Amino acid sequence: MSFPLWEKAKQITSAAIDAVRPDRLINDNLKRDGDQLEIQGRTFDLAEFEAVDIIAFGKAAPGMAAAVTDILGNRLRRGIIAGLPGFAFEHPRFERFEASHPLPDERSEAAARAALELARRSGPSDLLVLLVSGGGSSLLCAPLPGISLADKMCVTRELLVRGADIRELNIVRKHLSAVKGGRLALAAKAGVVNLIISDVVGDDPEVIASGPGYWDSSTFAEAVRILSKFDYYEAGPAGVKAAFESGLAGGLEETLKKNDAAFDRVSAFLVGCNAVALAAAKREAEAAGFQAMVLAGADSGEARDAAARYIPSLLASVRSRGRSDRPLALIAGGEHTVTVRGKGLGGRNQEFVLAVLVELERRARAGARSDRETFGEFLKNGRLNGRDWLVLSLGTDGVDGPTEAAGAWAGPATLVKLQPSGLNLAVRLDDNDSYNVFKKIGGLIVTGPTGTNVMDLRLILVD
């Protein structure tokens, strides 16, 4: 190829992220003609509503709010927006809250209390539009009475470190919240429209941002089982345990369920998800000359375990390359987890790529008969069966763990740089220190916050 695989990978990932820009997704799914607002084929007559309010929360909130505000024009009465610190959206009818992620803080609570108040002030002839995206669980956070914000922060932190997936984390958070699990929709007297950009496997509205405007199928009993699974029910804050015991005994109301009358006036529309990004990546790869295939869009589980599952696909691509003149692009999405046992620095995407290198190195040194040809050059020059290759994983939001990187990539040049570095990759992986590995030998991907969030994107390229 005329350019290194890394240059092609940048083209592909940029196209994927561009396809899920919030303004693009909103304009692709909402059309207005006079008072007729059409959302995915369903029409809302704005003339039937006295006023329209907006509550926007999540990493994509600024872009979503800007696009919807442009569409609504002077029909907008007021709005609340909760986003990451420094977001650019400004509007005279919006109250802004720059809040914290992945752990909530006092600003998150202030944003949630303001959202609840706006919802309560709405009337039955109004329309309340909720703009929902990933990160909203932290950016909009109001604990139930009797539970402190510090307790909720503590539970969130521990579940993240112990490897809980987003569904497990959000079930627990919903049962500690005055706003999640449908409670924001319950607070409103208005009709409610959810416009949702998914950052979860399965695109389930009750999981995304913990579903403030959607019904919830989980229970206090399930939340207790999750905390027990991660050995944190007895060890966690006393206030949380007391709240859950009260919930189990019927002393606290459950989250709202599907048959609740409140949802007769609630609609939900998925306007963006990981599949949109993967499809755009495939189109861009094909335009760049690759034979492209989407492997999966629902990856989950431990990042290092998933990396081992990808190795056969990489090796099969290397071996089959000789039968085709076209380079290969394998594309996948989803979101992995990391159980933090070490003291290093990194994120799930960086850990995935490091784990791929560790597994390749392990196989090369083991010298399995079926892999001898493939790994003949690997430990010397990083090539596989004489082929150039690249493995990449990044967060579409531009953030990977507590680092400035969005993810990482590796290829033959990575292995060449590794030789004189003295790094023991397996030891660094055990210490969850992927960031410092790629900082030393190269391969960190730094995009800055992208303004969207549809989970992660992975590439395997073979030339």
Spatial distance between the Cα atoms of 404 and 346, rounded to a whole number of angstroms: 10
Share of the chain above pLDDT 70, in %: 96
Amino acid making up residue 78: R
Do residues 185 and 267 touch, judged by C-beta distance below 8 A? Answer: no
Q: Which CATH class is domain 21-142+177-218+255-272?
A: alpha beta
Q: Is the pTM of this model over 0.85?
A: yes
> Which band of pLDDT confidence, cut at 50, 70 and 90, is reported for residue 316?
confident
CATH number listed for the domain at residues 5-11+275-462: 3.40.1480.10
The residue whose two tokens read 């015991």 is 245
Spans of all domains in the chain = 5-11+275-462, 21-142+177-218+255-272
Q: Decide: 274 and 333 in contact? Cβ < 8 Å.
A: yes
Could you report the per-residue pLDDT of 102-152, keeping only the tens digit for each?
999 999 999 999 999 999 999 999 999 999 999 999 999 999 998 999 999
Round the CA-based radius of gyration of the chain to a whole number and report it.
23
Q: Is the pLDDT of residue 351 over 50?
A: yes
Q: Tell me the pLDDT tens digit for each residue of 134-146.
A: 999 999 999 999 8
